[in-house]
């Protein structure tokens, strides 16, 4: 029991322990704290402050033609007292050259600060390590669409290994935000709209990245879970805008994935949100960053600011009267490292002269940074094996894993009259067309199809001019010319495969300085709807391959396409998986992790809204979603039957009850199905959601095969923040609902009596 309590409230103690090593781990932890005490006692204020700052390698860190380290004078000046960390060193080099650079850079840093303190090197990992030569996986929203947590953990395990092999130690990933607004350009960086699903994915991502904490000292990297909390709930879907959510929503729906990352996965770091909660800027929110994160959840890692957000308390958020006040607010709130800024924590040495007492706060931040470096093994093993990096990075199994994630994430949204898969005795001519057609698409299709088909291709037009900061839509006149080219090619074909949706320019992060990535509508950009309508006039089967980073209202495609494959943003091998789906070499098993609205006017429109939101619809339109949460078709069919409970009464004595259902593959294909458990609280002291996901299992069934799937229901699953703002379960009636989507469910009732 003592160990369980430690796991719950002090998860970072697990950095180096197992169940059978509790006592020895305490000694190890104590030994590290003594080493930290000794270091801090020797440090000058300048050396301490250096351990609270991080800068980007673009300041001047590179290799010459002989792979020797070159540092700019600016970088040398920044390193003279040491540094907490450096972002993205070697990102544009091959893995081997990156390892060489980072070893030399680490050696320089250790030898050129008085106490020999190493630094950590930091990356990003949305779809693989953000550096040249690494395996490119699908984006997080794809990974979640697999509903396969084992695959997700394996992917992040590989990401952690590839990062560490090139000399990196931390990553500003994963994203634990709940995404419910498709206007938001960063939607694809997160996992889902749902609290439970996101929590499960984040836990597996952190465990994978960190090598289940065991790998932190040598083979894996530390995760910095972000953006704590509420970031994706920005007003108008615009990056940096205010966040308007109720305290109950924050506690019950937004915070749990972060809590899971801390308590179940021992995330090494946390990054706060750009925004505010109830008007309190997150980077100045002591309640959130100290009282909740550390005091309640037991987090012992380090907190790093988002880019330049500490000084922004003064010049952007305007909750500080001076730059010094902004620094003080951040430091007191619990921000340990100031990312990038040269007008933030750099002010601390002068501030200490006027306010000596804040050195205690600085010491606390430094302690957390040093503890992180010890957790990563940097004091004892600061270098990597340069000869091993190529064996670890982009090996055959890694690329196969990326491909398998693609296969399990693709969602069959529509399949009229079994258009898919294409099975033909003759050799059809297939037109691969559309504005998001990739340069290697036809190559992958030819590889997969073999002699089953011949292909012609025509991209037609691009969606934007490709400007990185604020892209412009392509000229409509040029797009119409492109449509004509596509039609000419399509006329000569038997089947049209249309690649549409969005790309890296139509949905992206809106950076601080005049870079845009959010949208005020969610319709497909440009003339894509017109292209669909014109192709349909040819009276040929049209298969839509939908690629996108944000949810789109694809009403025209849904109405007129013969089949639709929802792909989000697949890996570097994505079109190979698409080809396999189209020719029946693989069977779709992905399910939506967000609700797809018919129009932007329905937002907010997640499946777990309050029941009262469905009382009234809209004039002249359909209130229902275009596709519900959890939805996804297959080439096979599944029958759910015999839903039952082990007991209709859940009490303190019974502890848990089991709900089970029989699932049968009634089609002709071996296929996978995601069995989903939802629970509805019939009566609550506050208005409750329509339903909430509480469990899922992905199963594989041969044609005609049946399987009984079971889920356990316990009291903790029924807890929420009640009228008195206490989190607990309330006695009363509940419904357990099981099925293949949030709207295709069988129901059975039970009672809770505590």
pLDDT tens per residue across span 569-600? 999 999 999 999 999 999 999 999 999 999 99
Q: Do 332 and 428 belong together in one domain?
A: no
Q: Do 210 and 335 belong together in one domain?
A: yes
Q: Please check whether residue 627 lies inside any domain of the structure.
A: no
Q: Please check whether residue 724 lies inside any domain of the structure.
A: yes
Taking each continuous run of H as one helix and of E as one strand, the counts in the chain are 22, 28
pLDDT above 50: residue 714: yes
3-state helix, strand, coil in the chain (%, to 5): 35, 20, 40
CB proximity list for 77: less than 8 A, separation 6 or greater: none
Find the mean pLDDT for residues 171-180.
97
Binning pLDDT at 50, 70 and 90, where does residue 28 land?
A: low
Q: Do 263 and 173 belong together in one domain?
A: yes
Find the mean pLDDT for residues 364-387.
97
Instruction: For residues 698 and 59, give the distance between their C-alpha atoms in angstroms, rounded to a whole number.
Output: 47
CB proximity list for 693: less than 8 A, separation 6 or greater: 194, 195, 196, 197, 608, 629, 630, 676, 677, 678, 742
Last residue of a domain, one of 554, 582, 614: 614
Instruction: For residues 414 and 347, give the distance between their C-alpha atoms in angstroms, rounded to a whole number.
Output: 58
Which pLDDT score is estimated for 27?
A: 53
Q: Distances in Å between the alpha carbon of 500 and those of 314, 523, 556, 570? A: 43, 12, 12, 14
CB proximity list for 32: less than 8 A, separation 6 or greater: 371, 374
Question: For the domain that residue 673 is a member of, what is the CATH number?
Answer: 2.60.40.10
Instruction: List, as one string, the DSSP characters of 658-669.
Output: EEEEEEEE-SSS
pLDDT above 90: residue 16: no
pLDDT above 50: residue 7: no
Find the mean pLDDT for residues 275-293.
96
Q: Do 703 and 569 belong together in one domain?
A: no
Structure-token pair, residue 200: 């499960």
Report how far Cα 41 is from the mean position of its chain's Cα atoms: 40
Which pLDDT score is estimated for 614?
A: 87
Q: Please check whether residue 631 lies inside any domain of the structure.
A: no
pLDDT, one tens digit per residue, over 414-437 is 999 999 999 988 999 999 999 999
**Domain hosting residue 265, numbered range:** 2-392
Which pLDDT score is estimated for 583?
A: 98
Q: Beta strands 542-547 and 276-277: pairing type? A: unpaired
**Secondary structure letter of residue 687 according to DSSP:** P
* Global confidence as pTM: 0.94
Instruction: For residues 206 and 226, give the distance between their C-alpha atoms in angstroms, rounded to a whole number.
Output: 11
pLDDT above 50: residue 513: yes
pLDDT, one tens digit per residue, over 234-249 is 999 999 999 999 999 9
Q: Please check whether residue 262 lies inside any domain of the structure.
A: yes
Binning pLDDT at 50, 70 and 90, where does residue 652 land?
A: confident
Instruction: List, as one string, the DSSP characters of 731-743.
Output: SEEEEEEEEEETT
Report how far Cα 155 is from the mean position of its chain's Cα atoms: 12
pLDDT, one tens digit per residue, over 226-236 is 999 999 999 99
Instruction: For residues 152 and 200, give the distance between their C-alpha atoms in angstroms, rounded to a whole number.
Output: 10
Instruction: For residues 105 and 97, give the distance between their C-alpha atoms in angstroms, rounded to a whole number.
Output: 12
Q: Distances in Å between the alpha carbon of 450 and those of 41, 429, 446, 447, 749? A: 69, 13, 6, 6, 53
Structure-token pair, residue 267: 């995330």
What percent of the chain has pLDDT above 90? 93
Instruction: For residues 695 and 712, give the distance between their C-alpha atoms in angstroms, rounded to a whole number.
Output: 9
pLDDT above 60: residue 15: no
Q: Do 145 and 271 belong together in one domain?
A: yes
At residue 605, the 3 state secondary structure works out as coil
Q: Please check whether residue 684 lies inside any domain of the structure.
A: yes
Q: Beta strands 85-87 and 53-56: pairing type? A: parallel
Structure-token pair, residue 390: 């190529």
CB proximity list for 753: less than 8 A, separation 6 or greater: 649, 650, 651, 731
The mean pLDDT of the chain is: 94
**Secondary structure letter of residue 290 according to DSSP:** I
pLDDT, one tens digit per residue, over 51-74 is 999 999 999 999 999 999 999 999
Find the mean pLDDT for residues 669-675.
98
Number of domains into which the chain is organized: 3
The sign of the dihedral angle between the CA atoms of 284, 288, 294, 295 is positive
Question: For the domain that residue 272 is a member of, what is the CATH number?
Answer: 3.20.20.300
Q: Do 590 and 656 belong together in one domain?
A: no
Q: Please check whether residue 624 lies inside any domain of the structure.
A: no
Question: For the domain that residue 441 is a member of, what is the CATH number?
Answer: 3.40.50.1700
pLDDT, one tens digit per residue, over 591-644 is 999 999 999 999 999 999 998 998 889 999 999 999 999 999 999 999 999 999
The sign of the dihedral angle between the CA atoms of 414, 417, 421, 422 is negative
Which pLDDT score is estimated for 14?
A: 31
Last residue of a domain, one of 614, 629, 654: 614
Q: Do 383 and 300 belong together in one domain?
A: yes
Which pLDDT score is estimated for 590?
A: 98
Q: Please check whether residue 402 lies inside any domain of the structure.
A: no
pLDDT, one tens digit per residue, over 330-340 is 999 999 999 99
pLDDT above 60: residue 663: yes
Q: Please check whether residue 558 lies inside any domain of the structure.
A: yes
Q: Do 577 and 707 belong together in one domain?
A: no
pLDDT above 60: residue 34: yes
pLDDT above 80: residue 12: no
Binning pLDDT at 50, 70 and 90, where does residue 514 land?
A: confident
Instruction: For residues 49 and 58, give the distance between their C-alpha atoms in angstroms, rounded to a whole number.
Output: 21
Strand partners, 660: 644, 710
Helices (H), 561-619: 574-582
CA angle 267/223/147 to nearest 5° reads 85
Binning pLDDT at 50, 70 and 90, where does residue 24 land?
A: very low
Instruction: For residues 560 and 548, give the distance between their C-alpha atoms in angstroms, rounded to a whole number.
Output: 19
CB proximity list for 626: less than 8 A, separation 6 or greater: 553, 554, 555, 558, 596, 597, 598
Which pLDDT score is estimated for 1?
A: 32
Beta strands across the sheet bearing 671-681:
649-651, 744-753, 732-741, 671-681, 692-701
Instruction: For residues 170 and 92, give the distance between their C-alpha atoms in angstroms, rounded to a whole number.
Output: 17
């Amino acid at each position: 029991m003592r160990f369980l309590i430690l796991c719950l409230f002090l998860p970072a103690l697990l950095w180096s322990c197992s169940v059978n090593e509790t006592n020895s781990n305490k000694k190890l932890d104590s030994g590290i704290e003594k080493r930290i005490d000794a270091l801090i006692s020797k440090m000058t204020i300048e050396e301490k402050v250096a351990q609270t700052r991080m800068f980007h390698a673009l300041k001047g860190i590179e290799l010459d033609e002989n792979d020797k380290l070159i540092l700019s004078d600016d970088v040398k000046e920044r390193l003279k007292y040491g540094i907490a960390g450096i972002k993205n060193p070697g990102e544009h080099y091959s893995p081997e050259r990156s390892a060489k650079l980072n070893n030399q850079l680490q050696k320089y840093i250790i030898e050129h600060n008085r106490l020999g303190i190493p630094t950590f090197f930091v990356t990003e990992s949305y779809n693989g390590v953000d550096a040249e030569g690494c395996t490119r996986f699908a984006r997080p929203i794809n990974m979640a669409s697999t509903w396969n947590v084992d695959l997700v953990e394996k992917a992040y395990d590989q990401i952690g290994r590839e990062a560490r092999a090139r000399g990196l130690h931390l990553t500003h990933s994963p994203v634990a935000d709940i995404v419910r607004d498709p206007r938001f350009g960063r939607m694809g960086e997160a996992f889902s709209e749902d609290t439970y699903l996101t929590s499960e994915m984040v836990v597996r991502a952190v465990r994978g990245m960190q090598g289940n904490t065991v790998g932190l000292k040598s083979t894996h990297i530390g995760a910095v879970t972000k953006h704590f909390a509420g970031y994706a709930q920005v007003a108008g879907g615009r990056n940096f805008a205010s966040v308007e959510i109720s305290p109950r929503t924050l506690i019950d729906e937004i915070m749990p994935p972060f809590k899971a990352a801390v308590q179940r996965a021992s995330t090494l770091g946390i990054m706060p949100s750009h925004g505010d909660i109830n008007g309190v800027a997150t980077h100045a929110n002591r309640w959130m960053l100290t009282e909740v994160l550390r005091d309640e959840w037991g987090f012992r890692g380090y907190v790093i600011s988002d880019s330049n957000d500490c000084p922004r308390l003064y010049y952007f958020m305007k909750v500080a009267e001076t730059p010094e006040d902004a620094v003080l607010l951040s430091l007191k709130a619990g921000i340990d490292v100031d990312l990038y800024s040269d007008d933030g924590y750099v002010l601390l040495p002068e501030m200490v002269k006027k306010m000596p007492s804040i050195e205690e706060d600085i010491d606390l931040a430094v302690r957390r940074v040093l503890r992180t470096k010890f957790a990563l093994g940097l004091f004892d093993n600061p270098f990597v094996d340069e000869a091993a990096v190529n064996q670890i990075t982009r090996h055959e199994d890694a690329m196969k894993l990326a491909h398998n994630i693609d296969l399990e994430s693709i969602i069959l949204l529509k399949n009229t009259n079994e258009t898919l898969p294409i099975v033909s005795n003759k050799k059809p001519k297939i037109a691969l067309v559309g504005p998001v057609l990739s340069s290697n698409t036809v190559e992958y299709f030819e590889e997969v199809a073999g002699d089953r088909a011949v292909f012609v291709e025509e991209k037609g037009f691009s969606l934007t001019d490709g400007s990185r900061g604020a892209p412009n839509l392509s000229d409509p006149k040029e797009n119409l010319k492109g449509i004509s080219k596509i039609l000419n090619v399509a006329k000569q074909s038997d089947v049209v495969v249309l690649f549409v949706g969005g790309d890296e320019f139509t949905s992206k992060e809106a950076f601080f300085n005049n870079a845009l990535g959010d949208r005020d509508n969610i319709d497909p950009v440009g003339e894509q709807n017109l292209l669909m309508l014109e192709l349909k006039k040819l009276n040929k089967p049209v298969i839509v391959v939908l690629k996108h980073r944000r949810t789109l209202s694809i009403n025209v495609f849904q109405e007129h396409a013969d089949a639709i494959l929802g792909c989000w943003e697949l890996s570097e091998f994505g079109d190979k998986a698409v080809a396999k789906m189209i020719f029946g070499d693989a069977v779709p098993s992905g399910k939506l992790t967000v609700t797809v609205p018919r129009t932007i006017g329905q937002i907010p429109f997640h499946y777990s809204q309050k029941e009262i939101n469905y009382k009234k619809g809209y004039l002249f339109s359909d209130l229902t979603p275009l596709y519900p949460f959890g939805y996804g078709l297959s080439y096979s069919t599944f029958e759910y039957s015999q839903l039952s409970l082990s007991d209709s009464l859940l009490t303190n004595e019974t502890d848990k009850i089991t709900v089970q259902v029989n699932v049968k593959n009634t089609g002709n294909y071996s296929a996978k199905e995601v069995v989903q458990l939802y629970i509805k609280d019939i009566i609550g002291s506050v208005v409750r959601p329509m339903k909430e996901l509480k469990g899922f299992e992905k199963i594989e069934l041969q044609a005609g095969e049946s399987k009984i799937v079971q889920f356990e229901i316990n009291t903790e699953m029924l807890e929420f923040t009640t009228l008195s703002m206490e989190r607990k379960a309330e006695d009363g009636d509940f419904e357990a609902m099981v099925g293949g989507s949030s709207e295709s469910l069988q129901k059975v009732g039970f009672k809770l009596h505590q």
